[in-house]
């Protein structure tokens, strides 16, 4: 299976090309491919192999099937199962090599697509995640990808206007064991892994290679005369930064978890303005003084968020609830319900922490915090030597 990333003069695609690292595919992309192949076999009697899917940004990777099984209807409904081995490329991903399976069963007309957690896929047991308690840990974007591809299969075999009314059970071989090496148990996702991915692509994060690519990204932006650049933690935050500031591709830095690498290099090679845009939880780590935002090397400090909430007017009962929240998102939701601007407080504190790292370099910094859906939940206006 394979698909190359587009190469550009700047931005995340150019950074990836510069590293020389091979990208991979998310569990969500693998689950989509397996589901599509299984449903095609259920309707047509044959498994497409390889199976090609379309990712949110238009890439069309093909996946070889590692396992397949078609069970004829007997005492119960017919089922089809297909499995894809996850290839994470050069990323040190704990799910690299895992077998992601999808088992598809036809449901009565009007049922739509119903998701189930099979062996090795977790179930949500606590609030604060983008899924309701009791739901299988299959994130919103993979769910949407699977729905769209099953709809295409239904139309291909049954004609225009046909709908997919099926149960899709996603499982991962040895997923419960693999999940012990992730944050899932602490977040209340029990029984296995989460099916993740917003773009379908795993971007490899070799620390040294990616930090070097950030530096080259700054160099490209400066050489192009860009005086305003944005360091973004991922593709969703990149879209927000572009929408708000209308920045060209070569002004975008795929910061990932390496906030410190961006700030330290821009300290030595200044631009007039730096926008930092990322998820609320990640930027709360920057606000707390962490320069490496990876979950293995820094965690969301709910006690720190509770103190910020107090500064924003939270009473002791709310501050205590924030300190005990399951996730940063849950803390944010608690404060939002009480009218406490925790997102803005995190953004302002992250901006101040960034300015401290810049040590007086002539760079104005603004910060944008977003939620998982890409909605802005906190902002701090530009501040720094170039604005005073």
Q: What residues have CB less than 8 Å from 213, skipping those under 6 apart? A: 15, 16, 18, 19, 254
Q: For residue 3, what pLDDT is reported?
A: 43
- Confidence check: pLDDT of 6 > 50: no
Q: Which domains, ranges and CATH numbers included, belong to the chain?
A: 24-202 (3.30.2110.10), 207-387 (no CATH)
Say how far apart CA 102 and CA 66 lie, in whole Å.
12
> Is pLDDT of 303 > 80?
yes
Pairwise pLDDT comparison (75 vs 384), residue with the higher score: 384
Cα 346 versus chain centre, distance = 20
The more confidently predicted of residues 170 and 217 is 170
pTM attached to this predicted model: 0.62
Asked if residue 310 has pLDDT above 70, the reply is: yes
CA angle 37, 43, 44 (to 5 degrees): 80
Mean pLDDT, to the nearest integer, of 37-49? Answer: 93
Q: What is the DSSP string of 178-235?
A: HHTTSSHHHHTEESEE-B--SSSEEPP--HHHHHHHHHHHHHHHHHTT--EEEEESSH
Share of the chain above pLDDT 70, in %: 88
Q: What is the pLDDT of residue 13?
A: 60
The DSSP bridge partners found for residue 117 are: 170
**CA distances in angstroms from 356 to 166, 233, 301, 345, 363, listed in the order given:** 54, 20, 20, 17, 11
Asked if the model's pLDDT at residue 150 lies above 70, the reply is: yes
Please report which residue ranges of the chain form alpha helices under DSSP H: 11-19, 27-44, 140-158, 175-179, 184-187, 207-223, 235-245, 259-268, 280-287, 302-311, 316-323, 328-337, 342-358
Weakest-pLDDT range from 8-12, 121-125, 134-138, 204-208: 8-12
Look at 126 and 64; give whichever has higher pLDDT.
64
| Residue range 159-203, pLDDT digits in tens | 988 889 999 999 999 999 999 887 788 678 899 999 988 777 766
Q: What is the 3-state secondary structure (H, E, C) of 34-87?
A: HHHHHHHHHHHCCCCCCEECCCCCCCCCEECCCEEEEECCCCCCCEEEEEEECC
Is the CA virtual torsion 302, 308, 311, 314 positive or negative?
Answer: negative
Task: Tell me the C-alpha distance between 53 and 50, whole Å.
Answer: 10
Reading the block at residue 31, the tokens are 């689950």
pLDDT, residue 17, reads 63
Q: Which pLDDT score, from 0 to 100, does residue 129 have? A: 76
Least confident of 19-28, 99-108, 277-286, 371-380: 19-28
Neighbours of 61 (CB within 10 A): 22
SS3 23: coil
């Amino acid at each position: 299976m394979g698909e190359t990333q587009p190469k550009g003069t700047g931005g995340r695609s150019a950074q990836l090309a510069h590293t020389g690292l091979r990208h991979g595919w998310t569990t969500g992309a693998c689950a989509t491919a397996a589901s599509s192949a299984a449903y095609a076999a259920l309707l047509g009697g044959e498994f497409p192999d390889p199976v090609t899917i379309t990712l949110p940004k238009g890439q069309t990777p093909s996946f070889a099937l590692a396992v397949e099984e078609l069970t004829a209807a007997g005492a119960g409904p017919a089922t089809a199962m297909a499995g894809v081995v996850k290839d994470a490329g050069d990323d040190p991903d704990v799910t690299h090599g895992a077998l992601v399976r999808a088992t598809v069963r036809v449901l009565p007309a009007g049922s739509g697509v119903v998701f189930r957690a099979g062996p090795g896929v977790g179930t949500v047991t606590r609030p604060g995640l983008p899924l309701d308690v009791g739901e299988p840990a299959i994130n919103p974007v993979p769910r949407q990808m699977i729905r769209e591809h099953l709809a295409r299969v239904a139309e291909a075999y049954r004609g225009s206007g046909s709908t997919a009314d099926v149960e899709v059970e996603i499982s991962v071989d040895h997923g419960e064991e693999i999940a012990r090496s992730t944050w899932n148990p602490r977040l209340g996702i029990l029984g296995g892994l989460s099916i993740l991915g917003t773009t379908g692509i795993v971007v490899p994060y070799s620390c040294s290679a990616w930090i070097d690519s950030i530096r080259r990204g700054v160099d490209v932006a400066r050489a192009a005369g860009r005086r305003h650049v944005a360091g973004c933690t991922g593709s969703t935050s990149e879209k927000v930064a572009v929408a708000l500031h209308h920045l060209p591709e070569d002004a975008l830095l795929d910061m990932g978890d390496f906030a410190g690498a961006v700030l330290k290099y821009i300290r030595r090679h200044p631009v007039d303005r730096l926008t930092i845009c990322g998820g609320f939880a990640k930027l709360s780590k920057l606000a707390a003084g962490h320069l490496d935002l990876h979950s293995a090397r820094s965690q969301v400090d709910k006690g720190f968020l509770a103190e910020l909430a107090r500064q924003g007017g939270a009473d002791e009962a709310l501050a205590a609830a924030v300190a005990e929240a399951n996730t940063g998102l849950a803390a944010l939701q608690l404060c939002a319900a009480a009218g406490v601007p925790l997102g803005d407080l995190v953004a302002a504190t992250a901006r101040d922490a960034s300015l401290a790292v810049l040590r007086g370099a002539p760079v104005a910094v603004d910060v944008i915090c977003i939620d998982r859906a890409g909605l802005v939940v906190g902002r701090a206006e530009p501040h720094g030597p170039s604005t005073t």
